[in-house]
Amino acid sequence: MRKGLAASIIASLLLVLIVYTFGSRLEPRSPSFEAETFSAKMQRLQSDNHLLRPQKPSTKHPKSNRFAQFAVALKTGGETLHERVPMQLLTFLSEVDNIVLIGDTSAKIGERNVVDVYTDLYAKTRKKLGIVEVGAEDEPFKRTIKKEDVNAFKNQGQGKRVISGQDVSTDGWQADAHKNLPGFQVLVETYPDADWYLMIDDDTYVVMDNLAQYLEAKNPNEPHFIGRNNYFKGCDGVTQFHTGPGAGTAEHPYIAQGGSGIIISRGAMKKMTKGLNQCIIKYQNCWAGDIRTALCLRDNGVVVSWGDGFYENPPLDEIRFPDDPCSLPNTFHHVLPSQMQTLYEVERENWNFRGTLTTTMDRIFAAFHSSESFVEKDTNRPDGDIEVHNDVETADKCQNLCTKVQFCLAWTFDEIGGHCRLKNRLGEPKSGLKGYTSGVIGGRYTCKRV
């Protein structure tokens, strides 16, 4: 009898222990659980602070939509949109809400629509303007390029970047010039209250925090047109690059190179939209969309201002790294999807571990170059000489001389003359030069500013 009573007491204690230990972890079952819809179930679980509730980041990753001042037009083509655009949306555009995808065909990427701004563009625009022309040309010209230029483009930077001219046979590339002006038109109609309107290509990477800081001191209500300045010819009667007096004025305007990003303030956009439809017709035979944009802004009283930190290539040896490693790059062009991931990881490293939002150029240089010293055969770095040593026998001895000089970042050895040039800047390397060997001393291109 006593044994039975003891067993009963022990069983009761074990049951209490089990309930006490696990009871708080068991989710009460709703009487209507079986009839709940998926949506209702998700709301109930989230309201109960269940694990399915989206968790706040534990790192210093910025909150979403910190870039509400921007409206971004991402210009793509039917043949490249699924290959390139997803990586942009997953990386630097992941926190930008105001985005329009524009192209030469209607398509979808996830839940986002690609707006076709190309098909019947000129017929639609003439209709808006009330223009009726007998025999008016509806089919715009197609961009063309010489075969030998295509081969030159394809041989340049193979495997290291998206190559200009590589997709010249695609409809997207041939229609590219016709997308800028109607693309800006769609963008401002979609987001009329944005401070800054940004147009990029599907191989452009934007360091959004850097760009936001770059524009912070500028008044968006004033007419600003910003980007990587460039000369042009072949439109508006211009047959030669104008580099003399008056360059950059309304008479001889610069353009903002499209792949590096075109930035137009709200004030400038208001001016351009007044004559935008007229510009679409007027410049329909101009060969490049960024030239059309610059000419349309010029016609409406706005010329481009010089922009720093806008690069026409990825951060490899094809760009000139700035003398100041603390400088903040805004954009890179011709960027491969894998390189976009690397750039994004550099930004995330700053957010998560360094507690900073902006990304300095030395961090990007380190991500794309060896942290050790490296040597470049058949390459000359022509800038930044601080010492010149003659009668140097080998490239190795030239490199050793550089390592002994505190401010030497790079060096170039001329084996014919025996000259060793020590440099305090990286400059822009010139490759394909027989008899020259250059190198960079690892770890010295570093931002030391606190």
pLDDT in tens, 332-371: 999 999 999 999 999 999 888 778 899 999 999 999 987 7
Q: State whether 302 and 376 are in the same domain.
A: no
Q: State whether 299 and 175 are in the same domain.
A: yes
- The reply to whether 54 falls in a domain is no
Last residue of a domain, one of 256, 279, 306: 306
pTM summary value:
0.79
Residue 32 CB coordination number (10 Å): 8
Q: State whether 294 and 381 are in the same domain.
A: no
- The reply to whether 96 falls in a domain is yes
Q: State whether 165 and 273 are in the same domain.
A: yes
| pLDDT surpassing 60 at residue 148 | no
Pull the structure tokens for residue 286.
Answer: 């101009």
DSSP code per residue over 219-284: -TTS--EEE-EE---SSTT--S---STTBTSSSB--EE-GGG-EEEEHHHHHHHHTTHHHHHHHTT
Least confident of 45-49, 54-58, 82-86, 294-298: 54-58
Task: Answer with the residue of higher pLDDT: 229 or 372.
Answer: 229
In angstroms, what CA-CA distances link 362 with 20, 228, 294, 326, 423?
57, 21, 32, 7, 17
Contact 210, 329 (CB under 8 A): yes
DSSP code per residue over 162-183: PPTTTTTTSHHHHTGGGTHHHH
Query: What are the b/e assignments for 221-254, b being 16+ CB within 10 Å?
Result: eebbbbbbbbebeebbeeeeebeeeeebeeebbb
Q: State whether 265 and 407 are in the same domain.
A: no
Q: State whether 436 and 298 are in the same domain.
A: no
- The reply to whether 144 falls in a domain is yes
- The reply to whether 344 falls in a domain is no
| pLDDT surpassing 90 at residue 442 | no
Domain coverage including residue 279: 70-306
- The reply to whether 324 falls in a domain is no
Interatomic CA distance for residues 84 and 80, integer angstroms:
6
pLDDT at 316: 87
pLDDT in tens, 265-324: 999 999 999 999 999 999 999 999 999 999 999 999 999 988 899 999 999 877 889 999
Q: State whether 178 and 75 are in the same domain.
A: yes
Contact 124, 113 (CB under 8 A): no
Tally of domains in the chain? 2
Residue 109, strand partner residues: 112
- The reply to whether 345 falls in a domain is no
Residue 6 CB coordination number (10 Å): 10
Which helix (H) or strand (E) segment is 201 a member of?
strand 196-201
CA atoms within 13 A on the CB side of 150: 11
Q: State whether 142 and 237 are in the same domain.
A: yes
